[in-house]
Structure 1
Amino acid sequence: MKKLCISGVILTLLSFCASAQNHVFVETESFEDKGGWVIDQQSFVVMGSSYIMAHGMGRPVKDASTTVKFPKPGKYKMWVRTKDWAPFPKGPGKFEISMDGKKVNQVFGASGSDAWKWYDGGETDIKTGSVKLSIKDLTGFNGRCDAILFTDDLKFTPPNEFETLTAFRKKLLNLADKPADAGQFDMVVVGGGIAGTCAAISAARMGLKVALIQDRPVLGGNNSSEIRVHLMGDVDKNHYPKLGRIVREMDNGDPGNGNPDAKEYGDARKISIVKAEPNISLFLNTHVYKVEKENDIITAVIGRDIATNKEMRFTGSFFSDCTGDGTIGYLAGAEFRMGRESKAETGESLAAEKADDFTLGTSNLWASLERDSVSSFPETPWAIQFSDEYHIDEPKADWQWETGFGNFNTITDAEKIRDHNLRAIYGNWSYLKKNKPAKYAKKELAWVAYIGGKRESRRIIGDHILNQMDIQEGKFYPDGSVTATWTIDLHFPDAKNSKYFEGQEFFAGTKHIKVAPYTIPYRCLYSKNIQNLFVAGRNISTTHVAFGSTRVMRTCGMMGEVVGFAAYLTTKYKTTPRGVYQEHLPELMGILKGETTAPQP
């Protein structure tokens, strides 16, 4: 039935296209000059596309522009796909569109509706074969635009339903049924955070041919300049001298959380280390959204460039899901968990009484700087409102600025979470500027993250599920590999924040439960039911409680290093990740201990 429905969607779409002589479809992320607008791909899973956003922190950004070619002159109707991200009753994301310098007689992004949809931009008379299309931000407060459509079928209405719109995009973007071949690899690592980068380097240095795929222009994930979280967890307390060496290379010191100086997070350094590895092919700005498999074996993944929309196919012998969201495992049908288990299920004293969807949240950090002169900040009636009774009197954010906690799904609600964080940041800052001039008159917002720093989503189930007892009792399994040192650090809504914003919290608290150094079994680092899938990072096989300790980035980086060593053995012996545990564990442990020097294949 599902196949018949999809076929019906495609047939309907073809009839749409046949009824129009010409459609000209423009994805905004593909604009030749994006000006001050930025690309956001974090909602690709619910939109099927990236989009551009005017992230000016209250100051309008430079225009985005591109040249649009038309197949013939004539009358066209323009449609603009956008939303009003913070309606009150109309939000701040206003923008205008111009064609060859002439403004369209309509303002977009302030409709009062927070749903993505197409808006009628009116008719236009195209007299030449090409037109310069420009988008002008009017506020600097995160206006956004997904795509622009011109059609000479003046009665045509573009689709909004996901499946139909996805097929519509694919056809009009001329995306080939067979994406370009990126090559055949021993190991395909998806996710370029600390875990994925370390996994790629480790495997490459063992002689494997590796593809490292990252959906942003920088490596490091939460430790990049886009999110700016410092590295936590110790690498000098582990049992194995070979573990942690690559993590140290990635480590750019400790600039703290939310440092306004982007260089402190070492983006260029991370990329240069990866590019120095001859066995790694690096693919930045590539979002993997599709998996091909035969039975329980992944054969390839499909990625789309978040700016150009060009698609590539990566074939491999082994794959490592370092996405944080467990995206590859999920697409491949791997067993996973998301949320909290119950005490009855796990026997953990820190588990919830009942299983639920509660997850740790997502942070958007920010910072201000002292300037030489007094500055103002716009009124923000559409933002969260603060008062003398409740506001946050700080010149910069730390980890506590966090939204999620089961009220939002960290994957499908990524845009809502980020926007809620922005409404809190801008509302609080507006209050401080207006009501505390002695402290804030000369301070100015210097940086606000527009990419959310996620903590928790899916956890891929392996042959062992690490739990609270494993951690607190310091159980040392024969395959104990990565040594972890971070506390059991489970965030929850701050009590005072909950009092004023119940169900809409954006500020967190925690209670650190100290642990002695313990080891994470290798069996947590591969999928239980997908034969050739490794995992590393925050989506490994743990309970929610144990995840509170394993999730920090130095620890995740060492997981990646172990995965690289294990991938070498799977290739050497033509076995599986599980086969390494069952048949070659002494050799893996020998590599970790530095007793075995693995030959380069």
Structure 2
Amino acid sequence: MKRRKFFKQTAGAGLLSGLLPLSIRVNDDPVNLGKRSNDHWEQMGKGKIGIPKRQKTVQYDVAVIGAGMAGISAAVASARNGAKTVLINDRPVLGGNASSEIRVTVNGVQSLQNKHRVERETGIIEEMLIDNWYFNPQESYPVWDHVVYDYVSQQSNLDIMLNTQAIDAVMHDSGTIKSAICWQLTTETAFTINAKYFIDCSGDGLLAATAGAEYRTGREARSEFDESFAPEVADGWQMGATLMMITKDMEKPMPYYPPSFMIPYQAEKAHDRKINQFKEGYWWVELGSDDDIIADQETNRHKLMGYMHGVWNYIKNSGEFPEADNLVLDWVGSLPGRRESRRFMGDYILTQKDMETYKHFEDAIGYGGWSLDEHNPGGIENLSEPPSYFHDRFNKPYEVPFRSLYSKNIKNLMFAGRNVSVTHIALSSTRIQGTCALMGQAVGTAAALCLSHQLSPRMLAQNNIDLLQEQLLRDDVYIPNRPSRDPKDLARQCQVIFGDSTATGDAKLLLDGISRDEIDQIHHWSSSSKPAQLQLEWLEAQPISEVLIKADTNLQRKIMMHKNPDKNEEQILAVPPELVRELVLEARVAGAWKEIAQLSDNRRRMIKLSFAPVQTSALRIKFKDTWGADQVKIYEVRCYS
């Protein structure tokens, strides 16, 4: 047995999962998790005294650790594609850095130096964001927590475990993870999570680290990957964590009395730390580490709380900002949002140079495009230097390879989020939550495909990457330079496709395998009015039981929720008005049109219509209404048997 196995096996005793106490070694001494030999629970109503059962063993196909945007996307994708999945989160709410506990904006690819500027992510992340505007137009972060929980808990084939931390790995001798040992705080229960594939989206990656997965921390030397923004000499600095705050206007002068742990803000020493708004706090209230940012977490948390109150005390009590007289703190963060710690090594390490040269990867599974954004290593304790050195923006999205999303030395381990196989400089872009969500959907989909085809992630990357790419494209993920070529799509075999009217584009473009407009390249059909109609014709009848439609949600407009309403100027705080709201699907059967599916109050760009199989030589999609737009715009139609 390897050291990481947590079951204590005495001489002559078998390894009985769920019966013997789970044990972890601390300084070579065993510590039993969930052992209750001295805990005599007395139930007064029944007059019984017993030892509580605090150990459980459960079995899944895929275990996802961490439930930020990456972990949620991974778990939902895995479950949707047929794998029995568990999503394990060490906090009481889902969302990670985007949750009400931390409140980081779900940014994605934006500020591009081209006509689009924004190239929004689709797929699972978009579904959550649109749901938020439907259920939460008031922009409440606690309500957002419940929107996300509702979204995830509705997914069949998926279980959620909150307040649960994966603390170590049980290993097979073959170099694969057998089990994750987890501790659930609220139930005082030790769980053994057995699974065939593990996906660590926890950010810090404790499970992956205890499994022995290779990782890096700190900054690479400039010479290692020829990265112009890297330091000349490698060092231990990791990008810092931040605490945010939100204020409220009381419409009358309000005093502020700082807490005892407040650390005064030395504004006269601060370089380029602008206080130009008072609503949502300041990302530059940040602390990094040049050694072990995980070990430093609690020390840094205490200091960050002090620095945050110090900045607010300066605003309220320095006399420099009389416009803040009526403002009070309405919410203050207590859990720092971390940007960087471990980066696990895959078969490929994505670099600054790859991004800047827009390197094409045959195993691309998504894209990024947030600017390269190197923060001041010392954060707010290094006031003499700017908080961020630069924003080096991209002309177009760069590709993210699948080989950066699985472990090079642990055979059944993948990861997504800020802990993937990238350099420190590359992380300054890939860490953004919209990009992390695309990685998550990719590895969740990959896990389900590995399960159904009995593959390792490496085998999938080397020999079956088309399988993964086609499924992602089908599920509404955009991969630059990779149009869909799905041979199972019967729509591609139709002889005629036409609309009842056309304002822009061409109905034939709906079959070209690209489900969004690209720079100077149209890939849509738009009607001249609504209602509108689209028709497909085959020479011979086809057996069809599913139709997929990619509709319009205006991918060049932001849809994230902000802490500061002033940032909503370019947004619409509702379901995108361009999106199809209501439609009817008809098939021509024995020469007559027959309704086979309908949809109302649709909130999905990827519309999926499933129905009893029909033999038909023609389909007619009647778009009855949108959420407000006067035209219907569609990017793709697919048909499957």
TM-score class, shorter-chain normalisation, is 0.5 to 0.7
* Residue correspondence of structure 1 range 201-216 to structure 2 within 5 A: 201-216=76-91
Q: If you compute each CA radius of gyration, which structure gives the higher value, 1 or 2?
A: 2
Partner Cα distance (1:484, 1:396) in 2: 29
1:291-350, Cα deviation, whole Å (9 max, x unpaired): 111131101111112334322111100000100112221110000001101122222111
Are 1:260 and 1:368, in contact at CA under 8 Å, matched by a contact in 2? no
Structure 2: distance between partners of 1:168 and 1:564: 32
Residue 377 of structure 1, CA deviation: 2.9
Instruction: For residues 493-519 of structure 1, give each alpha carbon's deviation from its aligned partner in whole angstroms, at most 9, with x where no partner exists.
Output: 58996246x9xxxx8224111123111
Give the secondary-structure state (helix, strand or coil) at the position aligned to 1:492.
Answer: coil
Q: CA deviation at 1:162?
A: 7.4
**CA distance in structure 1 between the aligned counterparts of 2:31 and 2:88, rounded to whole angstroms:** 25
Structure 2 residues not aligned, in runs of 5+:
4-23, 40-50, 475-484, 490-545, 547-639
CA contact (8 A) 1:364 1:450 kept: yes
**Superposition deviation, residue 593 in structure 1:** 3.2
Listed one character per residue, the Cα deviations across residues 146-167 of structure 1 (whole Å, up to 9, x for unaligned) are xxxxxxxxxxxxxxx9759994
For 1:365, the equivalent position in structure 2 comes to: 244
Aligned residues between the structures? 434
Q: Given that residues 121 and 434 in structure 2 are in contact (C-alpha distance below 8 angstroms), is that contact kept between their aligned partners in structure 1?
A: no
Contact 1:187 1:210 (C-alpha < 8 Å) held by counterparts: yes
- 1:447 and 2:331 equivalent? yes
- State the match for 2:564 in structure 1: none
Q: Give the letter for the 2:374 counterpart.
A: L
1:248 aligned counterpart, secondary structure:
helix
In 2, Cα distance between the equivalents of 1:217 and 1:195? 17
- Tell me what 1:383 maps to: 262
Matched, 1:294 2:172: yes
Query: 1:589 & 1:424 partners in 2: Cα distance?
Result: 46
> Aligned to 1:508, what secondary structure does the other structure show?
coil
Separation (CA, whole Å) in 2 of partners of 1:260 and 1:493: 36
Say whether residues 1:469 and 2:348 are aligned partners: no
Q: CA distance change for structure 1 residues 553 and 496 in 2, over 3 Å: closer, same or farther? A: closer
Show the counterpart of 2:445: 565
Q: Which amino acid aligns with 2:414?
A: F
Q: CA deviation at 1:419?
A: 1.1
AA aligned to 2:328 is E
Shift of 1:540: 0.6
Q: 1:248 aligns with which of 120, 126, 141?
A: 126
Write the letter of the residue equivalent to 2:340: E
Q: TM (normalized to structure 1)?
A: 0.65
1:148-547 matches, within 5 Å, as: 167=31, 180-234=55-109, 244-251=122-129, 262-263=140-141, 266-295=144-173, 296-380=175-259, 382-386=261-265, 389=268, 393=275, 394-398=277-281, 400-407=283-290, 409-436=292-319, 438-492=322-376, 498-499=382-383, 508-515=387-394, 516-547=396-427
Maintained 8 Å contact 2:352/2:426:
yes
What CA distance in whole angstroms lies between the structure 1 residues aligned with 2:292 and 2:347? 26
Structure 1 residues 168 and 477, CA, compared in 2 at 3 Å: closer, same or farther?
closer
Q: Distance in 2 between matches of 1:183 and 1:499?
A: 50
Q: In structure 2, what is the equivalent of residue 550 of structure 1?
A: 430
CA contact (8 A) 1:290 1:303 kept: yes
Q: Residues 473 and 432 of structure 1: is their aligned pair in 2 closer, same or farther, counting only changes over 3 Å?
A: closer
- Aligned partners of 1:388, 1:475: CA distance in 2, in Å? 43
Deviations 1:122-178 (A, max 9, x none): xxxxxxxxxxxxxxxxxxxxxxxxxxxxxxxxxxxxxxx975999499767969999
CA distance in 2, matches of 1:456, 1:495: 13
In structure 2, distance between residues paired with 1:440 and 1:350? 38
Pairwise CA RMSD of aligned residues? 3.7
Alpha-carbon separation, structure 2, partners of 1:396 and 1:549:
25
The 8 Å contact of residues 254 and 326 in structure 2, kept in 1 or not, is answered as yes
* CA–CA distance in structure 2, aligned partners of residues 472 and 187 of structure 1: 35
Query: CA 1:425/1:174 → structure 2, altered by over 3 Å: closer, same or farther?
Result: farther
CA distance in 1 between counterparts of 2:37 and 2:377 reads 43
Change (3 A) 1:579 1:164: closer
Structure 2 vs 1, CA of residues 569 and 419 (structure 1 numbering), >3 Å: closer, same or farther? same
8 Å CA contact 1:194, 1:250 repeated in 2: no
1:591 paired with 2:471, answer yes
Distance in structure 1 (CA, Å) of the matches to 2:329 and 2:105: 20
* Structure holding more helix per residue: 1
TM-score, scaled to structure 2:
0.61
What amino acid is aligned across from residue 191 of structure 1 in structure 2?
G
Deviations 1:245-278 (A, max 9, x none): 10101225999xxx99643771111111111111
Q: Judging changes above 3 Å, is the alpha-carbon distance between structure 1 residues 494 and 343 closer, same or farther for their aligned structure 2 residues?
A: closer
C-alpha distance 496-212 of structure 1, shift in aligned 2 (>3 A): closer
Q: Deviations over 1:393-417 (max 9, x none)?
A: 5524455334333356321111111
**Cα–Cα, structure 1 residues 387 and 469, in superposed 2: closer, same or farther, change >3 Å?**
closer
Match of 1:577 among 435, 440, 457: 457
- How far does residue 566 in structure 1 lie from its aligned partner after superposition? 1.0
> Are the structure 2 counterparts of residues 564 and 381 from structure 1 closer, same or farther at C-alpha, using a change threshold of 3 Å?
closer
How far is the alpha carbon of 1:579 from its aligned partner?
1.0
In structure 1, how many angstroms separate the alpha carbons of the residues matched to 2:52 and 2:458?
Answer: 34
Cα 1:177/1:460, change in 2 over 3 Å: farther
Report the residue type matching 1:570 in the other structure.
C
Distance 2:408 2:267 in 1: 53
Following the alignment from structure 1 to structure 2, what is the Cα–Cα distance between the partners of residues 369 and 307? 33
The within-5 A match list for 1:27-176 is 167=31
Identity across the alignment (%): 32
**Counterpart Cα distance in 2 of 1:523 and 1:236:** 27
SS of alignment partner, residue 353 of structure 1: coil
Offset at residue 435 of structure 1 (A): 3.1
Q: SS at 2:316's partner residue?
A: helix
Distance 2:84 2:383 in 1: 54
Contact persistence 1:192–1:219 (CA under 8 A): yes
The answer to whether the Cα contact below 8 Å between 2:99 and 2:141 also exists between their aligned partners in 1 is: no
Query: Which has the higher mean CA deviation after the structures are superposed, 308-317 or 541-550?
Result: 308-317
Whether contact under 8 Å (1:565, 1:588) holds in the other structure is: yes
Q: 2:32, 2:55 → 1: CA distance?
A: 20
Moved more, 169-178 or 370-379: 169-178
3-state secondary structure, aligned to 2:289: coil
**Aligned mates of 1:403, 1:260 — CA distance in 2:** 29
Distance 2:256 2:291 in 1: 29
Counterpart of 2:240, as a letter, is G
